Amino acid sequence: MSVWLKRCGILLAISAALAAVDSVARPTAWTVTSVAGRNDAPPDQATGSPAVAANSPGPSVQPTTPAHTAQWFSDQLSAGAIAIDARPEEKFRESHIPGAIHLPFEAFTKGRPDAIDFLPDDGTTLIIYCDGGDCDASHKVQTMLAQFGLKDTIVFEDGFPGWQKAGLPIETGAAGAQ
Amino acid sequence: MTIPAPSKTIVDLLLLLARIISGGALLLAGAVKLGLLGGVAQLPTAPLLFALSLQSFKLVPHSLVPVVSYFVPWCEVVAGGMLVLGVWSRQSAAIVTAMLLAFTLALASVLLRDMNVDCGCFGGLFGEAKVTWGSIARNFVLSAFGAVVLVRGGGAIALKPDAIRP
């Protein structure tokens, strides 16, 4: 039995060693705080805002405030901001915010999504939305965009349901899909 | 009329098949999560994708997410690879089965909590966007294959046959 457990221990130790070496060797280091972005992330002790490491490549966290209403979103779009739809393709095709670029989280599993080429890195605000509520796709896309240097991003927490509820116009079809 | 018991050769071949299916699935899942199959461009951010999926399940403490997001895929690669090769088959199968059962429970908890989160299964390789009961059934079947090897041993073409019983 002791040999049996020893072998399991060796397998786990090999895995742990490889994980440790890998985490140091990866070209892009990230920490737990760079994964943060949701408002439920542990708050920073001093500021009370979601914690982001000083050297983190994570997003410039701009948590949605009550001022970030659907009308605010609409005004931002009129002022030049770009909407990013992080929902699955079938939902995007069904309906989306006019002019939105489709960029679901799954697109990042194949490397650098082509849609990133359509996103300016000149300070233009990128507003990401999904289904509102507990939908976390927009936060995940926000974190991934930061990995590619696009940090001027805001998550619209109310998501597409909030936009629809406000009676704002919608668009159908695949236009703008990545 | 009596049904003859399957020969040892057939049992060994079935055990080899069970090793390849359960170990191979985990090996593939780990390699994709680490970005080992997707080209160099994917390498830097691959563990982050898994970390984000892990975080959305809300089962792992926030501070442990980075550690787990590196350890779990490497555990999948090591244990899955060893199982396929037949090195310490029973021990590899124990780890593979335990991991698959843990994944199954995690996915079930997502459905039971009615959470709208991505599956993250196999690093998104098969475009499986959301957790479904099908994902749970698949994991359960894979863990059953692992459990068979855990009980019966590695079978045919095992690089390091394991005669030690648990």
User: Per residue in A114-160, pLDDT tens?
Assistant: 788 778 877 888 999 998 877 888 988 988 888 888 888 999 988 99
Domain membership of residue A148 (yes or no) is: yes
**Residue A146: closest C-alpha in chain B:** B45
Instruction: Say what the pLDDT of residue B61 is.
Output: 87
Domain membership of residue A112 (yes or no) is: yes
Q: pLDDT tens for residues A58-80?
A: 434 444 455 688 888 988 888 88
Residue A118: CATH number of its domain:
3.40.250.10
Domain membership of residue B2 (yes or no) is: no
**Residue A23: closest C-alpha in chain B:** B70
Domain membership of residue B3 (yes or no) is: no
A1, A15, A21, A112: best mutation site toward chain B, by most B Cβ within 10 Å?
A15
A30 at interface of B, judged by CB pairs closer than 8 A: yes
Instruction: Say what the pLDDT of residue A161 is.
Output: 92
Asked whether residue A34 carries a pLDDT value surpassing 60, the answer given is no
pLDDT higher at A56 or B97: B97
A16 vs B contacts (CB less than 8 Å): 71, 74
Domain membership of residue A172 (yes or no) is: no
B132 vs A contacts (CB less than 8 Å): none
**Residue A41: closest C-alpha in chain B:** B62
Contact A45, A131 (CB under 8 A): no
- pLDDT category at B78 given cuts 50, 70, 90 is very high
In the predicted model, what is the mean pLDDT of residues B35-54?
71
Domain count, chain A: 1
- Rounded to 5 degrees, φ, ψ at A83 are -90, 135
B36, B78, B82, B162: best mutation site toward chain A, by most A Cβ within 10 Å?
B78
Q: How near does any CA of chain B get to the CA of A111, in Å?
A: 5
- Rounded to 5 degrees, φ, ψ at A148 are -100, 15
CB contact under 8 A, B65 and A136: no
B152: how many CB neighbours lie within 10 A of its CB? 16
Domain membership of residue B160 (yes or no) is: no
Given B42, B63, B95, which is nearest A8 (Cβ)?
A: B95
Domain membership of residue B32 (yes or no) is: yes
Look at residue A38 and give its three-state secondary structure.
coil
**Residue B38: closest C-alpha in chain A:** A110
Contacts with A116 (C-beta within 8 Å, 6 or more apart), sequence order: A103, A145, A148, A150
Instruction: Say what the pLDDT of residue A90 is.
Output: 85
- Location of structure tokens 């397998």: A11
- Location of structure tokens 């970030």: A68
Domain membership of residue B163 (yes or no) is: no
Here the tokens at position B51 are 């970390």
The CA distance from B122 to A30, in Å, is 22
The CA distance from B1 to B19, in Å, is 33
Strands A101-102 and A82-85: parallel
CB contact under 8 A, A18 and B63: no
In the predicted model, what is the mean pLDDT of residues B110-139?
78
Domain membership of residue B4 (yes or no) is: no
Instruction: Say what the pLDDT of residue B81 is.
Output: 96
Beta bridge partners of A171: A96
Domain count, chain B: 1
Given B48, B55, B116, which is nearest A131 (Cβ)?
A: B116
Asked whether residue A91 carries a pLDDT value surpassing 70, the answer given is yes
Q: pLDDT tens for residues B116-127?
A: 777 777 766 666
Q: What domain range includes position A91?
A: 60-165
**Residue B46: closest C-alpha in chain A:** A109
Asked whether residue B82 carries a pLDDT value surpassing 60, the answer given is yes
Q: How near does any CA of chain A get to the CA of B138, in Å?
A: 21
The CA distance from B47 to B66, in Å, is 8
Contact B155, B19 (CB under 8 A): yes
Given A11, A26, A133, which is nearest B91 (Cβ)?
A: A11
pLDDT higher at A11 or A172: A11
CB contact under 8 A, A143 and B52: yes
- Rounded to 5 degrees, φ, ψ at A126 are -105, 120
| Element counts in chain A: helices (H) and strands (E) | 6, 4
Domain membership of residue B103 (yes or no) is: yes
Domain membership of residue A2 (yes or no) is: no
A128 at interface of B, judged by CB pairs closer than 8 A: no
Here the tokens at position A98 are 């006019």
Asked whether residue B75 carries a pLDDT value surpassing 90, the answer given is yes
Domain membership of residue A88 (yes or no) is: yes
The CA distance from B109 to A47, in Å, is 34
Contact A150, A132 (CB under 8 A): no
Stretch 71-90 of chain A: residues touching chain B, C-beta under 8 Å: 88
Q: What domain range includes position B118?
A: 9-152
Domain membership of residue A103 (yes or no) is: yes
Instruction: Say what the pLDDT of residue A35 is.
Output: 47
Domain membership of residue A14 (yes or no) is: no
Instruction: Say what the pLDDT of residue B44 is.
Output: 65
Q: Which of A33-37, A61-65, B112-116, B148-152 has the highest mean pLDDT?
A: B148-152
Here the tokens at position B111 are 């459905």
In the predicted model, what is the mean pLDDT of residues B30-54?
74
B57 vs A contacts (CB less than 8 Å): none
The CA distance from B131 to B120, in Å, is 8
The CA distance from A121 to A128, in Å, is 15
H or E stretch including B102?
Answer: helix B89-112
Domain membership of residue A100 (yes or no) is: yes
B70: how many CB neighbours lie within 10 A of its CB? 25
H or E stretch including A68?
Answer: none
